[in-house]
Amino acid sequence: MNYRERFIVKPGSKVDLDQIDPGFSGGDDTRHKEALDQIDKDRTRLTELQYLMYAANRQSLLVVLQALDAGGKDGTVNHVLSAMNPQGCSVASFKAPTPEELAHDFLWRIHPHTPGKGRIAVFNRSHYEDVLIVRVHDLVPKAVWSGRYDLINAFETGLAANNTTILKFFLHISKEEQLERFKQRLDDPAKNWKISESDYTERERWDDYRTAIEEALSKCSTAEAPWFVIPANHKWFRNLAVARIIVETLEELDMKMPEATVDLAEIRRKYHEAAREEKKG
């Protein structure tokens, strides 16, 4: 399966989430074990590719994760993106803005977290909150949030022009699966800390969020910064699809290990000289 072609939101297309099965898993649930093996291989490859990006110091990667509550953003970070070395990777989460952030334009708080050359940044929630929760809760007038799609596209185009590859994933779960995951949080003491009253109050706005998400996906999937809708009811398939898309995209960047910036022959000579002196001592 070509995961990028299968799940990409093609620029200019209109997204209807009702037409995308959140329980899709490649048509054969017996592939679970095979998928876990592939995820392990992709995690190993992701470690190698991140090292190459860090060493080359020419390009960067931004991974955006969006989902409804319990959609699997944290799980994706833990099971896929944790393969990366923290020295070259950062994870940022954008919650309710502070008074200082509200005093600036909505993208002001995002800029400092974008990846510099050689680095990978992961957004666990992102600047898209300003056309999702802001819209659903009427936090700003429609005239304000409706103008943000073009600003977001311009912002991402600017990042791409600076050699940042952008991959945006919407983790698509069903309403029934969300409720089941809420139950797991209640039943598992290790997950009790994740429970909040807002989980259930926000769930009442399910249809409003779906409408807002569909419009964001439709208006902000571009050639420079594509959206992917990932069926996420099956966590293993979610992890497989995200890992495959990231690895395949990074491999196509055709990154090369940089040449040495020192005289290797001279360094070797000094090494052998030091080694001889060490033996004498």
pLDDT at site 281: 64
Residue 246 has pLDDT above 80, yes or no: yes
Give the global pTM: 0.94
- Quick check: 166 pLDDT over 90? yes
Structural domain including 227 reads 3-280
Phi, psi of 169, rounded to the nearest 5 degrees: -120, 125
Q: Average per-residue pLDDT in the chain?
A: 94
Higher pLDDT, 20 or 198: 20
Provide the pLDDT for residue 200. Answer: 85
Question: pLDDT of 193-209, one tens digit each?
Answer: 888 888 888 999 999 99
How many structural domains compose the chain? 1
- Residue 25's identity, in one-letter code, is S
> Nearest-5° angle of CA 135, CA 140, CA 145?
55
Which of 157, 170, 148, 171 is CA-nearest to residue 222?
A: 157
pLDDT tens for each residue of 52-80: 999 999 999 999 999 999 999 999 999 99
Band (pLDDT 50/70/90 cuts) for residue 28 is low
pLDDT of residue 129: 97
Instruction: Determine the pLDDT at residue 29.
Output: 62
The answer to whether 133 touches 75, Cβ cutoff 8 Å, is no
Q: Looking at residue 29, which CATH number applies to its domain?
A: 3.40.50.300
